[in-house]
Structure 1
Amino acid sequence: MEKPFPYQLYLVISEEACLGRNFLEVAEAAVQGGVDLVQLREKNDTPQAFLNKAFELKELLDRYEVPLIINDNLEIATQCKAAGIHVGNSDMPPTTIRKSWESCRLLGYSIEYLEQLYNEQTYTSDYLGISPVFSTSTKTDTVTTWGFDGVRKVRSITQKPLVAIGNMNASNARQVVEAGADCIAVVSAICAAPKPKNAAQLLRKEIQKGLKNRANLLNL
């Protein structure tokens, strides 16, 4: 039986994505608007700068009881006592992470092609990132652009919690959830929004519409 995954709106944040605004202020506004899971993704920082941001963000998120996920850096994830880590196909394998960090609560793994659904890394993970659902400028090294049909296909194969990422916004969140995603991950839809709290509120409403519609269809 899979672990419960109660999260619906997943923010992937970096200082760069916040377009000059304080990333902690953006994160707090997003959480106030309905974000319930936050990943810190700093590809260009020094290890120390990344760690400092992780400590600051975790202190903030702890006040709201929102878990912190660290992108692809096991050392920083363990040092700041994050809730979990998210890795891709070319990063440290989930099996290795699980052996090194037994107390990891949320181990995410991005799926870029269907064959990955049948490997040991997927079985070891707590949730799967469907990446990218739509093409995006923030991630250019991907194999597959899934689209709505791809999300439906993945949902038909696995019962793992699915987090949709890749050019996700309020105009497509409901449809992606209806297709089978459990949670929507966003970057610019919140980080670059004039009012991050309002953007999060709108996304949350669309996700909940999608979940309700999907439940209604399942009950027909």
Structure 2
Amino acid sequence: MIDFSLYLVTDRGLSQGRTTIDIVRSAISGGVTCVQLREKQGSTREFIAEALAIRAMLDGLETRIPLIINDRIDVAMAIGADGVHLGQTDMHIRDARRLAGSSLFIGISVESVADAFRAEAEGADYIGVSPVFATPTKNDTALPLGLEGIRAIRAAVSLPLVGIGGIKVENAAEIIRAGADGVAVVSAIVSASCPQSAATALKQRIQSARKKD
């Protein structure tokens, strides 16, 4: 069973010159429970090399932290990742499943209740609800769904839900209380001066929200 509580999505462009592996290592020390490697720059070989390095680092930890690859099922399969995360215009779930079988769990970003219904019916393993709030890290997303969007999707499907988009310490607890199983963050950790401290603060808000439930 995967713990989606604090889901880190990497972004080299927001790292302030630091390496992705250093940010991931620091963030895990602060409480990150799942890592998605998102790489839009460089060649496929460079992507694979970086993914292998992060995979090796994660394999050396006492706590099991799953590695998910964004978009690229070929990279995910090549490096033995735990999963792949697909968008609405990426490879169809049925084709990804045909390629990967049961070797990968498949997540998909949804922008509506209809998207969520379809993802569950087609065999997704978890859903990324995107965007919850307005976010500067992606410019190709739909209008923000807000907390009501989380609640509506939670009522519609039984799959694990991860909220993403504009999430930070100040609003992380709201996402959990609205029904999400976890929050996915990019800049709140990747751009933080100390990713470990940023992750710790987020994890505390998540845990606090669950205790109040």
User: TM > 0.5 between the two?
Assistant: yes
Measure, in 1, the Cα distance between the counterparts of 2:139 and 2:103: 28
**Structure 1: where are the runs of 5+ without partners?**
215-220
Measure, in 2, the Cα distance between the counterparts of 1:21 and 1:117: 35
Deviation of the 1:126 alpha carbon: 0.6
Measure, in 1, the Cα distance between the counterparts of 2:187 and 2:174: 19
Deviation of the 1:103 alpha carbon: 2.9
Establish whether residue 50 from structure 1 lines up as the match of residue 47 from structure 2. Answer: yes
Deviation of the 1:6 alpha carbon: 2.6
Q: Please tell me whether the aligned partners of residues 117 and 157 of structure 2 are also in contact (alpha carbons under 8 angstroms).
A: no
Deviation of the 1:5 alpha carbon: 3.8
Q: Please tell me whether the aligned partners of residues 162 and 183 of structure 1 are also in contact (alpha carbons under 8 angstroms).
A: yes
Match of 1:77, as an amino acid?
A
Aligned partner of 2:133 in structure 1 is 134
Q: Please tell me whether the aligned partners of residues 173 and 203 of structure 1 are also in contact (alpha carbons under 8 angstroms).
A: yes
Aligned partner of 2:186 in structure 1 is 187
Q: Please tell me whether the aligned partners of residues 8 and 32 of structure 2 are also in contact (alpha carbons under 8 angstroms).
A: yes
Say which SS state the counterpart of residue 106 (structure 2) adopts.
strand
Say which SS state the counterpart of residue 169 (structure 2) adopts.
coil
Establish whether residue 106 from structure 1 lines up as the match of residue 67 from structure 2. Answer: no
Deviation of the 1:24 alpha carbon: 0.9
Deviation of the 1:105 alpha carbon: 3.8
Overall identity of the aligned pairs, in %: 38
Structure 2 residue corresponding to 1:122, chosen from 120, 123, 147? 120
**In the comparison of the two structures, how many residue pairs are matched?**
210
TM-score by length of 2: 0.95
Match of 1:75, as an amino acid?
D
TM-score by length of 1: 0.92
Aligned partner of 2:20 in structure 1 is 23
Q: Please tell me whether the aligned partners of residues 150 and 178 of structure 2 are also in contact (alpha carbons under 8 angstroms).
A: yes
Measure, in 1, the Cα distance between the counterparts of 2:71 and 2:12: 17
Deviation of the 1:144 alpha carbon: 3.3
Measure, in 1, the Cα distance between the counterparts of 2:103 and 2:14: 27
Measure, in 1, the Cα distance between the counterparts of 2:125 and 2:195: 28
Match of 2:120, as an amino acid?
T
Deviation of the 1:106 alpha carbon: 2.4
**Structure 2: where are the runs of 5+ without partners?**
none
Q: Please tell me whether the aligned partners of residues 5 and 161 of structure 1 are also in contact (alpha carbons under 8 angstroms).
A: no
Q: Please tell me whether the aligned partners of residues 113 and 144 of structure 1 are also in contact (alpha carbons under 8 angstroms).
A: no
Deviation of the 1:43 alpha carbon: 1.2
Instruction: Please report the RMSD computed on the Cα atoms of aligned residues, expressed in angstroms.
Output: 1.2
Q: Please tell me whether the aligned partners of residues 112 and 149 of structure 2 are also in contact (alpha carbons under 8 angstroms).
A: no
Measure, in 1, the Cα distance between the counterparts of 2:169 and 2:139: 22
Say which SS state the counterpart of residue 29 (structure 1) adopts.
helix
Measure, in 2, the Cα distance between the counterparts of 1:156 and 1:205: 26
Aligned partner of 2:4 in structure 1 is 7
